[in-house]
């Protein structure tokens, strides 16, 4: 709460304290009456304007809630101004039968409509489209009840005692329903809204208690304006300012259960129907009541018929909107059912494709290793002494095997529908396995592998099969772009910052220019390197390919280091390592 609000509340407290001192120290007089009426009017002005920022800064149903609360306070203020005009300006006692009493009775009706909105609960579709008509039916019923019970003794046959008795009974019933509604909302709310409803209940209960206390004092001729009997009323007026300044205008509706909100909407609809069906009961009561004069019975019966006509039109309108709502819901249900069927078909197709992908991926991984061996033996066959008829056949076998290897790589790339399960891996062991599998192919080309493994190389997090495929593809690519004079392939692992690096180079000192990783010498090689790039990127790394004009090449794979909990704690682990040695 800011400084201005604190000063505002302090001024309200001073005004309330002044009324208490005046009620105790000053005798019954015009000065005391004027002071009491003016201060009470100022307290209601304060409460009204304290609610204005809540209206300005809120939106939607929350703004409507505070607008209805302001309307109730404005009606209360209007009645207080009428009271002040009579007692202070005209210096007259308020008439026993006062036409302005209807304003006092109606001031609670907008507040009842406000709490019926239940802004603390997210509005469901039913309440959004039909709730307003249900509330309107209930409000019309309360107005009908006032006209039925109070107005006959005010205008048809004026009777002060009957008028005051019926007005107090109707007003007490209205305040009781209002307080019960606040209790229900307080029980079903949470957080800031619980505080709002508690304060509203405190204000309403204090106001109801002050009315009962004033009526008790009037019956004993002990009441006068400004007496101690008016202090609870002034406290309820001052409470409005506290509600306005302490409430949060931006509090969003709580996401309570949809079933609870829908059930509430059903009970509102039932209550409105009960209000409609109560009209014949009131008509029967009017006809059977032989004690009251005939003119009052006729007036009540006419009022009931008019109310039945008005509420019947509203019910017809409600049923028409309900029918449209049901048609709309039926259309939405059919559309949702069709969408559900289409989604089910897509899910079934996706499951089939996923099963096929898993089958293809498993088969492709199993085929990849023997194909690599077959490729090595075919190259070895080409280097043996063959007759002119056998030479093209052996070359064709090598081409077809390379084509098959490219297709297998494509299948493996296609089968990777999601992230493969990863585990900590020793990159040195993985590279050594790849060199062993590619050994026949490398020997057929006369290539010797020289390995330099970092003894302290940390582990990486990855999928062993996918990274093994990457190593085999890079070994094959390097072996086929090496020239005749370069027959040594250097395979090296090392750690650079937070990266584990695998490099393959035919002549590292001769690298002068770089090319894109997908620019292989053959379509098969280019496709395989694209698949390798995708796999490494999924592991959080990258592949860099460099090649010079004279044919030397260098490839580099960078993978992030895996830091386990033990490594973070400073523990050491044993890693596999091999000395630099040629693979013959």
Task: For residue 283, count other CB atoms closer than 10 A to its CB.
Answer: 18
Q: How many DSSP H helices and E strands does the chain contain?
A: 17, 8
Q: What is the pLDDT of residue 445?
A: 78
Among 134-148, 155-169, 325-339, 508-522, the range with the most confident prediction by mean pLDDT is 155-169
For the stretch 9-38, pLDDT in tens is 999 999 999 999 999 999 999 999 999 999
**What are the pLDDT digits (tens) for 201-252?**
999 999 999 999 998 998 888 888 889 999 999 999 999 999 999 887 555 4
- State the sign of the Cα–Cα–Cα–Cα dihedral 214, 215, 216, 219: positive
Write out pLDDT tens, residues 447-497.
888 889 998 899 999 888 788 888 888 888 887 777 666 678 899 999 998
Which residue would you say has higher pLDDT here, 532 or 460? 460
Q: Which residue has the higher pLDDT, 529 or 208?
A: 208
Helices (H), 189-257: 192-219, 231-246
Close Cβ partners of 72 (under 8 Å, ≥ 6 residues apart): 107, 108, 109, 110, 111, 114
Sequence-separated (6 or more) residues with CB below 8 Å from residue 48: 70, 73, 74, 77, 240
Structure tokens belonging to residue 262: 């829908």
Residue range 495-514, pLDDT digits in tens: 998 899 999 987 655 444 44
Q: Which residues pair with 504 in a beta bridge?
A: 491, 555
For the segment 94-109, the average pLDDT, to the nearest whole number, is 87
CA 333, 339, 340, 342 dihedral sign is positive
- Residue 553 and residue 547 in contact, taking contact as beta carbons nearer than 8 Å: yes
Q: Do 563 and 494 form a contact (C-beta atoms < 8 A)?
A: no
Band (583; pLDDT cuts 50, 70, 90): very low
The set of residues, in sequence order, having a beta carbon less than 8 Å from that of 379 and lying 6+ positions away, is 398, 440, 441, 444, 445
Q: What are phi and psi of 569, to 5 degrees?
A: -80, 0
Of the candidates 506, 478, 354, 464, the residue with the CA atom closest to the CA atom of residue 416: 354
CB 232 within 8 A of CB 94: no
Q: Rounded CA gap, 108 and 205, in Å? A: 13
Q: What is the pLDDT of residues 142-165, one digit of tens each?
A: 888 888 988 998 888 988 889 989
Q: What is the distance of C-alpha 294 from the center of its chain?
A: 61
What is the per-residue pLDDT for 524? Answer: 43
Q: For residue 493, what pLDDT is reported?
A: 93
User: In angstroms, what CA-CA distances link 36 with 33, 40, 153, 276, 450?
Assistant: 5, 6, 30, 42, 104
Measured between alpha carbons, how far is 506 from 153 in angstroms, rounded to an integer?
113
Which of 37, 40, 120, 36 shows the shortest CA–CA distance to 86? Answer: 37
pLDDT digits (tens, 9 = 90+) for 394-404: 888 877 887 77
| Closest to 364 measured CA to CA, from 436, 472, 292, 278 | 472
Question: How do beta strands 542-547 and 499-505 pair?
Answer: unpaired
Q: Provide the CA 187 distance to its chain's centre, in angstroms.
A: 23
H/E stretch holding 327 reads helix 294-382
Residue 341: burial class (beta carbons within 10 Å; 0-12, 13-18, 19+):
exposed
Instruction: Look up residue 474 and give its two tokens.
Output: 């890079």
Is the CB of residue 557 less than 8 Å from the CB of residue 488? no
At 82 the pLDDT is: 93
- Predicted local distance difference test score (pLDDT) of residue 251: 54
The whole-number pLDDT of residue 267 equals: 54
Both tokens of 411, joined, read 């299948």
pLDDT digits (tens, 9 = 90+) for 48-96: 999 999 998 888 778 888 998 999 999 999 999 999 999 999 888 888 8
What is the number of other CB atoms lying within 10 angstroms of the CB of residue 557? 26
Q: Which residue has the higher pLDDT, 229 or 120?
A: 229
Tokens of 284: 């029967």
Question: In whole angstroms, what is the distance from residue 118 CA to residue 125 CA?
Answer: 14
On whether the CB atoms of residues 170 and 307 are closer than 8 A, the answer is no
Counting residues of the chain whose pLDDT is more than 90, the rounded percentage is 25
Contact in structure between 404 and 464 (CB atoms under 8 Å):
no
pLDDT of the residue at 344: 82
Q: Mean of the per-residue pLDDT values for the chain? A: 80
* Whether residue 315 has pLDDT greater than 90: no
DSSP letters for 243-294:
HHHHS-TTPPPB---HHHHHHHHHHHHHHHHHHHHHHHHHHHHHHH--SS-H
First and final C-alpha spacing in the chain:
83
Rg (CA), the chain: 45
Residue 365 has pLDDT above 70, yes or no: no
Lowest mean pLDDT among 295-304, 406-415, 534-543: 406-415
Identify the pLDDT of residue 528. 63
Quote the pTM value: 0.56
Percent of the chain with pLDDT over 70: 80
Q: What is the DSSP letter of 421?
A: P
Tell me, what's the pLDDT at 269? 59
At 571 the pLDDT is 41
DSSP string, 14-43: HHHHHHHHHHHHSPSSHHHHHHHHHHHHHH
Instruction: Name the H helices within 416-514.
Output: 427-437, 439-444, 464-481
Cα(559)–Cα(463) distance, integer angstroms:
12
Q: How far apart are CA 524 and CA 416, in angstroms?
A: 19
Q: Is 577's pLDDT higher than 70?
A: no
């Amino acid at each position: 709460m800011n400084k201005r609000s604190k000063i505002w509340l302090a001024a309200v407290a001073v005004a309330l304290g002044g009324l208490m001192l005046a009620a105790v120290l000053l005798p019954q007089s015009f000065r005391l009456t004027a002071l009491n009426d003016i201060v009470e009017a100022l307290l209601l002005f304060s409460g009204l304007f304290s609610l204005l920022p809540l209206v300005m800064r809120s939106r939607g149903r929350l703004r409507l809630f505070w607008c209805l609360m302001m309307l109730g306070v404005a009606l209360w203020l209007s009645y207080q101004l009428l009271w002040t005009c009579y007692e202070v300006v005209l210096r007259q006692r308020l008439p026993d039968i006062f036409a302005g009493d209807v304003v006092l009775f109606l001031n609670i009706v907008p507040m009842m409509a406000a709490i019926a909105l239940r802004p603390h609960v997210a509005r469901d579709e039913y309440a959004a489209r039909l709730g307003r008509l249900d509330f309107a039916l209930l409000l019309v019923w309360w107005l009908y009840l006032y006209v039925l019970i109070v107005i006959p003794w005010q205008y048809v046959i004026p009777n002060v005692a009957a008028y005051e008795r019926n007005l107090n009974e109707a007003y007490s019933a209205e305040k009781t329903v209002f307080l019960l509604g606040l209790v229900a909302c307080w029980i079903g709310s949470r957080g800031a809204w619980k505080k709002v409803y508690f304060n509203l209940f405190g204000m309403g209960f204090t106001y109801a208690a002050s009315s009962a206390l004033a009526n008790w004092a009037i019956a004993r001729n002990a009441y006068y304006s400004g007496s101690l009997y008016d202090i609870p009323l002034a406290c309820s007026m001052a409470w409005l300012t506290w509600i306005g300044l302490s409430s949060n205008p931006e509090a969003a509706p709580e996401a309570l259960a949809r079933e609870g909100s829908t059930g509430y909407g059903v009970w509102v609809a039932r209550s409105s129907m009960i209000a409609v069906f109560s009209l014949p009961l009131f008509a029967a009561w009017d006809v059977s009541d032989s004690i009251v004069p005939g003119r009052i019975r006729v007036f009540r019966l006419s009022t009931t018929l008019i109310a039945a006509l008005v509420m019947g039109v509203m019910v017809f309108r409600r049923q028409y909107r309900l029918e449209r709502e049901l048609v709309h819901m039926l259309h939405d249900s059919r559309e949702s059912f069709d969408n559900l069927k289409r989604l089910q078909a897509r899910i079934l197709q996706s499951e089939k494709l996923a099963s096929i992908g898993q089958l293809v991926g498993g088969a492709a991984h199993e085929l990849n290793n023997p194909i690599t061996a077959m490729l090595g033996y075919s190259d070895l066959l080409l280097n043996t002494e063959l007759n002119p008829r056998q030479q093209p056949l052996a070359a064709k076998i090598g081409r077809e095997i390379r084509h098959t290897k490219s297709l297998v790589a494509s299948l493996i790339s296609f089968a990777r529908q999601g992230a493969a399960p990863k585990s900590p891996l020793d990159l040195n062991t993985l590279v050594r396995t790849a060199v062993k599998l590619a050994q026949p192919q490398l020997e057929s080309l006369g290539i010797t592998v020289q390995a330099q493994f970092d003894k302290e190389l940390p582990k990486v997090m990855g999928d062993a099969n996918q990274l093994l495929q990457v190593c085999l593809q890079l070994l094959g690519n390097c072996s086929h772009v090496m020239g005749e004079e370069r027959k040594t392939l250097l395979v090296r692992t090392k750690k650079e910052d937070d990266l584990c690096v695998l490099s393959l180079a035919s002549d590292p000192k001769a690298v002068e220019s770089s090319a894109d990783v997908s620019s292989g010498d053959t379509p098969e090689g280019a496709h395989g390197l694209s698949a390798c790039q995708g796999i490494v990127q999924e592991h959080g790394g990258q592949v860099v390919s460099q090649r010079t004009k004279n044919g030397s090449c260098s490839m580099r794979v960078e993978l992030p280091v895996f830091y386990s909990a033990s490594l973070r704690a400073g523990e050491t682990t044993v890693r596999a390592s091999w000395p630099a040695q040629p693979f013959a």
